């Protein structure tokens, strides 16, 4: 899947501000990119995950949303780089996907 396609069809977890009843898990800013993660529950028993990010970077939006989905699926703060990268094999700029993934990793405190 390409990033543009993912952004167009998904982004279920993007919020404008911290949702009520959620805890900010962490934030990372790198250059003009910024992402924050919010969870409902605890780090080892996550009920829901949301994120807020710079909207001008589709790669960051796609990676952050996919990671939020994986956190909800696993029920814990979780990030498998290869699983995320494997979701976007058609994306030409893999180095930029990896860079955005490192921003997400820092925001999660991993």
Backbone angles phi, psi at 96, to 5 degrees: -70, -35
Pick from 59, 56, 58, 80: nearest CA to 69: 80
Q: How close are the terminal C-alpha atoms of the chain, in Å?
A: 25
User: Alpha carbon 89 to chain centroid distance?
Assistant: 17
70 half-sphere exposure, CB direction, 13 A CA radius? 18
- Answer yes or no: are the C-beta atoms of 38 and 23 closer than 8 Å: yes
**pLDDT of the chain, 110 residues: tens digit per residue:** 899 999 999 899 999 999 999 999 999 999 999 999 999 998 789 999 999 998 889 999 999 999 999 999 999 998 999 999 999 999 999 999 999 999 999 999 99
Q: Domain containing 78: what range?
A: 3-108
Residue for token digits 């999660």? Answer: 108
Number of domains in the chain: 1
Q: What is the pLDDT of residues 16-42, one digit of tens each?
A: 999 999 999 999 999 999 999 999 998
CATH number at residue 45: 3.90.1010.10
How many C-beta neighbours within 10 Å does residue 93 have? 12
């Amino acid at each position: 899947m390409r990033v543009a396609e993912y952004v167009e069809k998904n982004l279920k977890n993007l919020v404008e501000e911290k949702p009520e009843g959620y805890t900010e898990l962490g934030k990372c800013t790198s250059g003009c990119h910024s992402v924050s993660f919010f969870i409902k529950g605890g780090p080892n028993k996550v009920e829901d995950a949301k994120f807020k990010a710079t909207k001008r970077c589709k790669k960051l939006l796609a990676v952050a949303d996919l990671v939020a989905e994986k956190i909800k699926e696993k029920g814990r703060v979780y990030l498998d780089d290869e699983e995320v990268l494997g979701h976007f094999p058609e994306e030409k700029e893999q180095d930029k996907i990896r860079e955005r993934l490192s921003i997400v990793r820092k925001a999660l405190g991993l």
